[in-house]
Every structure is written in C-alpha cells, then in structure tokens.
Amino acid sequence: MKSLHALQHELASTSTQLDLLEEGVRDRLALPLFQQKMEQAGLFPLQATGVEILQINVGKMCNQVCKHCHVDAGPDRKEIMTRETMEQCLAALAASDIPTVDLTGGAPEMNPHFRWFVEECHKLGKHVIVRCNLTIIVANPKYHDLPEFYRDHGVEVVSSLPFYNADKTDRQRGTGVFKDSVRALKMLNEVGYGVEGTGLILNLVYNPAGAFLPGSQEGLKRQFKRVLRDEFEIEFNDLFAITNIPVSRYLDYLFSSGNFDGYMEKLINAFNPAAARGVMCRNTISVSWDGYLFDCDFNQMLDLPVDSRMPQHISLFSADALNNREIVLHQHCYGCTAGAGSSCGGTTA
C-alpha cells in the first residue's frame, strides 16, 4: 500500500480536503460550519491557554501504512526533520518553561537523529513522550533495544493499538501488525513499562477501526486490560480513546466507503461545548518536520499554520506570543469536540 502522496491522489492536496469538508458540511448536510457552532457555544474565537506541550513531528516516514493515518505516512514518505531544525526546537525548549515534549511522526524512531534528540530533551529536564507504533521495535534488529533506550531516558511511551485482536487491528494497520505489536508490548513489559511500581509509563491509544465513535474510555480500558492480560499477559497503564479525525487517509476511507456524510453528521450532532473547551490545541504547539508551527498535528497535515500574527517557525519561537494566540479552526475540528472529546491524551470532557 502506498501513501496518497505517492499515488498522486486528489486527497493528497490539502486544499481539496478542506474544500470537500466544507462543501460536505455546509452544502450537502446543511449543518453549521465549525466556526458557527463555536460562536453559538460562545467559544469563538478559541484562545490558547498557554504552551504546555511542544508536539514535534520529526518526519512522515513510517514502516506502516495505516488506513486511517492523518499524516499519510509510510515508507515512501521522505520528509524528515534535520538535526538543524531539532537544534532550533531544543533552543526553543531551553528558553521556555514548556514541561513536555511529545514526539510523533510517522515512526519517529526512523529519524536518524531521533535518539540524540531524545537525549537532549531529557538533558533539558523535559518530560518526553514518544508516540511509538510498536511494530518499529521489532521491524529491524537496530530497533530491538528501543525499550531499554526509552527506560534509560524516562520516556513515556504512547502506542496505538486499535483493538485487542488481530482481525480488527490488522484491517486498520496492516497484516501482521497485531502479532508484532504484541511482541513489542511484551518487550516493553520486560523492561518494566506498564508494570506497577516501576514508574515507566506505557499508555495505549484506541481509535475505532471504522466509521464510528469511540465509546466510554473507561469501559474500553477495562476490556483491553482484561483481554490483554488474560490472553497475552500484557500490562499497560492507561488507555486513551481517540476519535478518528476526517483528514487525509481517514477522509479517503470515509469517502470511498460512502460513510462521509453519516460520520460528519454524527460528529456534528455530538458537538459538546465542554469537550470544545478542553481541546488540546489550547495548550499545545505542533512543529512540522521542517520547523513550521501549527495548533495541532491535524492542522499541520492540512497546511493550516498558526494565526498569521504569530511567529510561524520554531526558529522564531516565542511562548509569550503564542500563549495568547487564536486557534485556527476548520471542519475537521468537529472530530475533537464530539461526545466526550478527543485529544492525544484521550477524552477531554
């Protein structure tokens, strides 16, 4: 399977995605655009509350090609953050009191400077989160020691596992992914990740394998805990239930399966002002592989940069300015404000 980018698919164009989202909501569904919905809830303009998390996308290269990927990541994506851009990120972190660095991709570990960058962030005393797809750990012998590396640098590991069986997981993430994920989870458990008393945090991310919303995060966590423990002897700390956002490959899935209208209608009807108040973009800045600044990883993938009055590049980073920015919104934002809400840390309401 190739990325939309490699296939030169029409949805590889971010302006096409934005146009289709807006046309769908306004013209076909005749429902309010996201900004109108926020105005009705008294939440427009949505203001940032500070920058507590610097989420850095170190590249779009990945060993997997998941059907729902909003990054359109894959082995054919060559966009990788350079060491120079990483140094600019480190300078921004050193000059600020941002406590958390959240590394994502692609598979962030495939960036050749990944380990050095984690070490430097750790030296700055930052809490480092790595969004690890699990299978990278077993993909090649050079990655087999990642669990020890994470442990030695106090990294919090956050890993996607859309279901507790192979069938649904592999349908979303590729053949054999569940089996490899189980193997990687066991390796993480072996060095103490997810094991009570070690302080090594292993959190799982659940996202629906299809065109439906996640149910109760607590209920899903209970079920995952039971099955993974009973059937695979795997332990983890927490489970974050995340809603699929209609961007890139998930958007393509919605259109090609005929689910776009139904899914958007469901998101819009489930709009929850409490979830909207808690969205993660309010306390996060997202950095792209080439150093540009966005309100979140989804805005990054849609080429929607931060408020034009703000510094646009990590080399110009100013927490003082960005703390008071207005969040850039579009129709995909309905994904984070539906029901119990959705963020990289799970529900928000």
Partner 1 sequence: MNPYYNAEDLKKFGKIGEFQETLAKKFFDYYGEVFAEGALTAREKSLIALAVAHTVQCPYCIDAYTVDTMEKGCSEQEMMEAVHVAAAIRGGASLVHGVQMMNKAKELSM
Binding site for partner 1 (CB under 8 A): 163-165, 167-168, 206, 208, 210, 212-216, 219-220, 222-224
Nearest distance from C-beta of residue 152 to partner 1, angstroms: 34
What string of DSSP letters covers 54-111?
A: EEEE-BSB-S---TT-SS--BTT---B--HHHHHHHHHHHHTS---EEEEESSSGGGS
User: Cβ closer to partner 1: 150 or 163?
Assistant: 163
- In three-state secondary structure terms, 312 is coil
Q: Which is nearer to partner 1, 39 or 231 (CB)?
A: 231
Tokens found for residue 342: 């959705």
> Which CB, 213 or 304, lies closer to partner 1?
213
DSSP per-residue letters across 195-212 = -TTS---EEEEE--SSSS
Closest approach of partner 1 to the CB of residue 85, in Å: 39
**Minimal distance in Å, beta carbon 220 to partner 1?**
5
Side chain identity, residue 95: A
Residue 159: in which H helix or E strand, if any?
Answer: strand 156-160
Q: Which is nearer to partner 1, 144 or 222 (CB)?
A: 222
Q: Closer CB to partner 1, residue 116 or residue 212? A: 212
Decide if 130 contacts 158 (C-beta within 8 A). Answer: yes
SS3 content of the chain, % helix, strand, coil (to 5): 45, 15, 40
Least separation in angstroms between CB 138 and partner 1? 24
Q: How many CB atoms lie within 10 A of CB 20?
A: 20
Closer residue to partner 1 in complex, CB, 83/229: 229
> With respect to partner 1, which residue has the nearer C-beta, 96 or 207?
207
CB of 188 to partner 1, least distance (A): 22
C-beta closer to partner 1: residue 33 or 166 = 166
Q: Is the dihedral of CA 123, 128, 134, 135 positive or negative?
A: negative
CB of 212 to partner 1, least distance (A): 5
Amino acid at position 107, single letter: A
| CB of residue 168 to partner 1, shortest distance in Å | 7
Dig out the tokens for 302 from the structure: 């849609």
Mapped to the 3 state alphabet, what secondary structure does 152-187 carry? HCCCEEEEECCCCCHHHHHHHHCCCHHHHHHHHHHH
Minimum CB–partner distance for residue 207 and partner 1 (Å): 11
Q: Which two tokens stand for residue 43?
A: 């939440």
Residue 136 · residue 187 · CB < 8 Å: no
Closest separation in Å from C-beta 338 to partner 1? 12
Residue 148 to residue 309: CA distance in whole angstroms: 43
Instruction: For residues 281 and 73, give the distance between their C-alpha atoms in angstroms, rounded to a whole number.
Output: 22
Question: Distances from the Cα of 93 to the Cαs of 96, 122, 286, in angstroms?
Answer: 5, 11, 13
Q: Of 163 and 294, which CB lies nearer to partner 1 in the complex structure? A: 163
Amino acid at 278: G
